[in-house]
A and B are shown apart, each in its own frame.
Chain A
Amino acid sequence: MNTKQIHRFVLKYLEATQCEILDKSPYHIKVKLSQAADRELTNRPYYWSFIDRLNETPETMSFLFVTDEEKYEATVAQQPVEEPKLLTPEEKAMERAYGIVPKPLPRIPREHLHFGSSRLKQLFESAENNGSYVCLYQEPQTRTLHPYDSRPYTVWLGINYMVEFSCDLKREEIHSLGISLVTGHCQEQFYDRLTSMRLSPRLPANVHIAKNGISYTKALSIAESHLEKRLKSYNYEWAEKAQARLQEELERLEGFYKPLLAQATDEEQKLEIEQLKEKREEEIRWQYEPRVTVSVINSGIFHLDGID
């Protein structure tokens, strides 16, 4: 992710959570958080439980998120320093009485959102937690429909899979599959198809949903066997190597502990060594054992135009 992509992401997140954008440039966003976003991001559970219990109006936090530190500094440097405002009569009175004029604006914390920063990581996690399950309808592409015509829509189960290949090393792949509940047909890169169309949470007019031919459970197993077939065709040299390393290490342990066990004088000592050996073996398996894990990033029910 470059700074531009980060900026876009943050802006979209803040908009999706209905935050109030106070000021922005391509390099920064000044924002007053919505209640939902404040609860999600500011880690103030006591404050919120206080507000909830007393039914008080909450004061949400504001932030200055800087996405491009260098360019932001440059623009700030160019701006003229603001003239101090003239005091109103009330403020003058305050100043006479107390010696100070209370500042109305609280300080806005400034944060640099770069890739790897903890705030950005928090936004990522928040998005992942709050964007898991959707139910959406495609908006009709053309408005030329006859008012009494009805377009058939197909229900799709869309799944974004994360495939993890790991031993002591790790890599990942994202697989997006869509399964038509009408035909059982399985489509790859389904997410790309979704992002190219307009989707809405409401059923459009003049649309009817085709009858499902298969159950959700059946669709799931179609998706899994499709993915399984894909994965079977991969090269597993890495896993073979990891297995070999694992065996080698286990033999090494055997060689190390065998003489120790032979030398052990009493049962207690023997047991102790035995336990240590088991522990080491367990660790080595934990470290090297190859595994492929398929988890789901998010999924949803999508009602799309046409029968396929």
Chain B
Amino acid sequence: MNNRLFTTNSSNDDTHQKPIHPAVNVNFQREWFKELQQRIEHNGPWDQWSMFQLAMEAREATVIHSFDELLCLRSLPSIEPMPHQLETAKRVLNEMGGRAILADEVGLGKTIEAGLILKEYLLRGLVKKALILVPASLVLQWVRELNTKFGIAAVAQKKSHSWGYEIVVASIDTAKRDPHREVVLATDYDLIIIDEAHKLKNKKTTNYQFATQLSKKYCLLLTATPIQNNLEELFNLISLLKPGQLGAQGEFNSNYVADKRLPKNEEQLQHILSSIMIRNRRGDGGIHFTKRIVRNITLELSKEEQALYDAVTDFVQQQANQDGIDISSILSLVTLQREVCSSRDAVFLTLVNMFKKTAEDSPVRARVWELVEVIRAITSNTKAEKALEIINECEGKVILFTEYRATQEYLLQFFEKHNIPAVPYRGGMNRGKKDWMMDIFRGRARVLIATEAGGEGINLQFCNNMINFDLPWNPMRVEQRIGRVHRLGQTEDVNIFNLCTKNTIEEHILHLLHEKINLFELVIGELDHIIERLESKEGSIEQRLAKAILRSRSSQQLHEEIDHIGASITTYQEDKINN
């Protein structure tokens, strides 16, 4: 029963109310007494004495002795929260009345904190009905984490009857639409958790409007983006949680806002913020990450491979210089070049597809066929040989990332030939298969060959060697890859091997990522803010790189272009540090 239903002033047959203190009344529930009288009248049925004692024992075991001691720990044998996570949970429960913004930096375990708080409220009986709103791609991950780590019977919202369950995980975009909207808005939720809450910063959006109309007792907003950057957005987010905490809109503007991005009376603002927001940082004491050891391995392509690379480069330049070419064709052309650096299988597959797509009488067909002929000459893969060497030298398990399916297939066969047990992992697999692959990797396989890292996060703390067979162009994707192994719970230093071929675009990319952005040594979590701000102003990094590559006539010129892109990222980086 929802404890909201019981109103303070009514006293009926089933409850009996008396004042015991100016601040509070006592309610005696009397339903049981009627039942007892009935049983006396009919002389039964009576329960067993042993069951009566067991009932008392059960209740004595679960009685909540104090207001503030954390109960959830003793019923969570499968997780060991970090000190900062426990501290956060305690503060939200005991000092913030269960309404807070959890704004830890990426990778510090906001989900764990939210789970601890939810579990604690459930154990105390203060929460029965809870709603967890997350981006659609994270629904299943949340459900899985709550089920396995916290023993909370959360259910993913799939059909309209799913809303009837006590703890529901849903995407906000579904929840706000008919026919769900009506059901959700008519329900009183003891706790609402909103993940990626920075998406609710604009109060004109339908999502924001929807969020204000929800009925809630406790509320947690999870975000990793430093919303302090925009005061208006900060105000909106806090108004969802505790309207008036920063005063009315007018007061807020005159008290704290000097300019859109520039606060005044900052100390006072920080003080108020600390009563409603918790932000743990990596730099804070007690949060320890192991080292990243990065090795760039530069390889010379074999004569045949180099011949293919040159032929493809020629072809790409020629095609790109045609009139009326759009950005997506540019990207796919450059992809050809990148694929040569990965494996002949990857480039072959793309060429075949290209061949099929072009008109029968097009001169391009003949050109493509010539390239395929060049591929035939290649008999070995320089990178694969090197990867094999690294794996043989490494102790323990190795995760290998590649961008291309065809390369993945090739490597599976290659490793099998050399008696190294390897398993694939890719986005297209269903959940069950992914879990299965992960189990094999945990068990007898030595190598995991993965084509994707993000989204449905895979956590591989038990593995501390990683090979980047080829590098994605987007620094964020590289960071996501590394984040799979280099995260809280990793006990060893993490070895990262970047395979890079000389005299190819790869060399330039690695130059950008490694020397310009200093990506591999960057503190985890900083990068996403930088990239987000950069991309919102100047377009995606992949597109900028592709254009630069096609524009450049010489390796030297390309080098300069890439330096330029690197410099713009570094500017944002410094910006952030200065803030």
Contact = CB atoms under 8 A, between A and B. Distances in A.
Contact of B65 (A172, A224, A282): A172
B24 A236 contact: yes
Nearest to A12: B54
Interface in B48-67: 48-67
Contacts of B21: 232, 236, 239
Interface stretch (A26-34, A41-49, A79-87, A288-296): A288-296
Given A252-B243, A253-B243, A258-B248, A298 B56 contact: yes
B573 interface: no
A170 B125 contact: yes
Given A169-B93, A170-B125, A296 B29 contact: yes
Contacts of B62: 124
B354 interface: no
Contact of B8 (A15, A166, A289): A289
A127 B61 contact: no
Interface string B64-78: 111110000011110
A243 B52 contact: no
B64 A171 contact: yes
A287 interface: yes
Contacts of A127: 51, 54-55, 57-58
Contacts of A220: 30, 33
B20 A232 contact: yes
Interface string B1-37: 0011010100000001010110111111110110111
Given A115-B75, A236-B21, A294-B26, A256 B67 contact: no
A256 B46 contact: no
Contacts of A16: 48, 50-51, 54
Contacts of A290: 23-24
B153 A134 contact: no
Interface in A202-246: 216, 220, 224, 227-228, 231-232, 236, 238-240, 242-243, 245
Contact of A132 (B3, B8, B32, B67): B32
A80 to B, nearest CB: 25
A13 B54 CA distance: 7
Interface stretch (B213-221, B470-478, B497-505): B213-221
A255 B59 contact: no
B421 interface: no
Contacts of A255: 244, 247-248, 251
Q: Secondary structure of the B side of the interface? A: mixed
Contacts of B33: 216, 220, 296, 299
B25 A291 contact: yes
Contacts of A166: 3, 126
A127 B52 CA distance: 7
A231 B49 contact: no
A162 B125 CA distance: 13
A5 interface: yes
A143 to B, nearest CB: 22
A236 B23 contact: yes
B94 interface: yes
Contacts of A231: 20, 26
Interface in B305-351: none
Contacts of B218: 168, 287
Interface in B206-225: 212-213, 215-218
A258 B209 CA distance: 19
A173 B26 CA distance: 14
Contacts of B4: 286
B286 interface: no
B97 interface: yes
B151 interface: yes
Contacts of A252: 242-245
Q: Interface size for chain A: under 10, 10 to 19, 20 to 34, or 35 or more residues?
A: 35 or more
A157 to B, nearest CB: 8
A228 B20 contact: yes
A289 B50 CA distance: 38
B183 interface: no
Nearest to A292: B26
A73 interface: no
Nearest to A223: B28
Contacts of A257: 243-244, 248
B137 to A, nearest CB: 28
A131 B51 contact: yes
Interface string A158-194: 0010100110111111100000000000000001000
B247 A287 contact: no
A118 interface: yes
A216 B61 contact: no
A232 B48 CA distance: 35
A169 B18 CA distance: 21
Nearest to B21: A236
Contacts of A295: 29, 32
A292 B53 CA distance: 25
A115 to B, nearest CB: 5
A115 B93 CA distance: 22
B249 interface: yes
Given A114-B77, A128-B58, A242-B23, A134 B48 contact: yes
A16 B49 CA distance: 9
Contacts of B49: 134, 136, 199-201
A133 B64 CA distance: 24
Contacts of A260: 248-249
Given A115-B74, A171-B64, 16 more contacts: A9-B57, A9-B61, A130-B55, A131-B51, A131-B56, A132-B35, A166-B3, A216-B36, A231-B26, A236-B20, A236-B23, A279-B213, A279-B215, A286-B4, A299-B33, A301-B40
Across chains A and B, which 8 residue pairs bring their CB atoms closest together, nearest first?
A: A116-B75, A256-B244, A131-B51, A131-B55, A252-B244, A124-B58, A127-B54, A239-B23
8 contacts: A16-B54, A133-B39, A168-B126, A172-B64, A201-B46, A291-B27, A293-B29, A294-B26
Interface of B: 3-4, 6, 8, 16, 18, 20-21, 23-30, 32-33, 35-37, 39-40, 43-44, 46-68, 74-77, 93-94, 97-99, 123-126, 151, 153, 188, 212-213, 215-218, 239, 242-245, 247-251
